[in-house]
Chain A
């Protein structure tokens, strides 16, 4: 029987001690609101109605998942937004990452400039895109008309509004993907590439069969980050379209905002947010597992 328990337990105590502040902060600040949200989700709490707060059981959930078309459409829009963003930004990010990896003159400046969209407050930048997207005096409409002879009304057009936000999101976050890919490219060993060149492989073949597979973990990381972030997107929607026109850009995040903090249907919104939370966690777990394998 081991008698070395003492050292181990001293170390263990230190480890736990070091973790304690984090645990207090995290558990203290997440568990209580979480339980509150669970509780409220089961009521009809409405902050504009002081008489509300009746216990409803799973009525909210039932309504959300079956008859609430707003909720369902918002969910659809969130999915469309996320898929649209990822499908555009991932390849673009890889491309720009490759570009930034090339030995061009002024490379350092390019890399520095490319980080700027990332550090700008989404809500601040959102304002500018709102101005640029304006259907009357916006410069984007002007330039599109100049090039193509015609332009949609961007954020004023319900059919294009969500796409407009995707375009904005691409501008703000593609550099993020590009920088991760750049980091990946710089950490790759040179031997496979050199030997491929000796064997006469074309640039395209090298890219497809060597570069891309070796970048998989980095692409995976970028994918997870963007997946989580696009589902959470709220600031720019508020800044650019406020969920409109009508509800054309009302993703789940914005739906929660409207229902919970503008219309104050707290109970209902809590139920919706718990469904949302659950979906995000499941989605992430699935994606993580598929990537690690």
Chain B
């Protein structure tokens, strides 16, 4: 085989591999989409059906019989609140740690270890405490918990971004007449805008997708969209159709967000890796 055709073959293999990956990646998502539009009989049919008459009855069920609207609203509120808390707090902490190394690495390590906590281990004492204080099923409790668990990641990511900016810039500003805080506000902050966007997106996605805390801490008032799904596991059995429809409703916003901010997400991961 000569060189040209060998290279062509290699390229073809790469395309095939890539196609396989894409198919595997998309398959469950597409299946979720299909299932949401199937009626009960089609869902349970053996062998599974690819061609069927789509129906909106699952969505109807979801919207009539469950708290999905409230769930969506609460998820949105929680996500925004968590972003509003963790970004400023994390930014200040990140700047302080990145530029001054307060506590000589120990403090940073402690904040990072929170990231390592298995949430299930943390939630048990929280459950007892909230229960005793009557703070269950409370959006504020949920926001608090999510903020706590998102803060390490936010701080760490922002720290990486801040370290990318040379200290020369703040020093030049300070020599030119700025206080440290003015230098931070006028020179560093504008440069961090894309970084803040990335961090906000990640924090938002994590909070939106969060299930464990929502499941344990909320019931009906502070219900989030992920918790709504749990409601389809009834004593009579699992309501597959509405469950899929709800899953679709829960994930579509994130897919749209991911595709729209694709650039930012990849950048965020990139930078975290470069550290």
Q: Which chain A residues have a beta carbon within 8 Å of chain B's beta carbons?
A: 11-12, 14-16, 18-19, 21-23, 25-26, 29-30, 32-34, 36-37, 40, 45, 47, 96, 99, 102, 104, 110-125, 127-132, 136-139, 142, 171, 175-176, 179-180, 182-184, 186-187, 217-218, 221, 228, 231-232, 234-235, 238, 252-254, 256-257, 260-261, 266, 269-270, 273-274, 276-277, 280-281, 284
Task: Say whether B25 contacts A113, CB under 8 Å.
Answer: yes
* B residues contacting the other copy or chain, number (CB 8 A): 95
Task: Say whether A123 contacts B226, CB under 8 Å.
Answer: yes
- Using a CB-CB cutoff of 8 Å, which residues 102-148 of chain B contact chain A? 102, 107, 110-111, 113-129, 131, 144, 147-148
Chain B residues closer than 8 Å to A171, beta-carbon distance: 24-25, 28
Chain B residues closer than 8 Å to A238, beta-carbon distance: 211, 215
Report if B163 contacts A (CB, 8 A): no
Contact of B25 among A114, A132, A235 (CB under 8 A): A114
Question: A-B pairs with CB below 8 Å: how many?
Answer: 261
Task: Say whether B269 contacts A125, CB under 8 Å.
Answer: no
> Nearest Cβ distance between residue A180 and chain B, in whole angstroms?
5
Chain A residues closer than 8 Å to B272, beta-carbon distance: 180, 221
Q: Pick the 10 closest A-B CB pairs, nearest first.
A: A273-B121, A22-B93, A183-B270, A121-B209, A124-B247, A18-B92, A123-B211, A33-B125, A15-B100, A36-B125
Cα A184 to Cα B272 in complex, Å, equals: 10
Chain A residues closer than 8 Å to B244, beta-carbon distance: 127-128, 131
Report if B61 contacts A (CB, 8 A): no
Chain A residues closer than 8 Å to B90, beta-carbon distance: 22
CB closest residue in chain A, given B91: A18
Task: Say whether A14 contacts B254, CB under 8 Å.
Answer: no
> Nearest Cβ distance between residue A88 and chain B, in whole angstroms?
13
Chain B contact surface mostly? helix
Task: Say whether B274 contacts A183, CB under 8 Å.
Answer: yes
Report if B83 contacts A (CB, 8 A): no
Report if B172 contacts A (CB, 8 A): no
Report if B175 contacts A (CB, 8 A): no
Chain A residues closer than 8 Å to B124, beta-carbon distance: 37, 40, 256, 260-261, 266, 269-270, 273
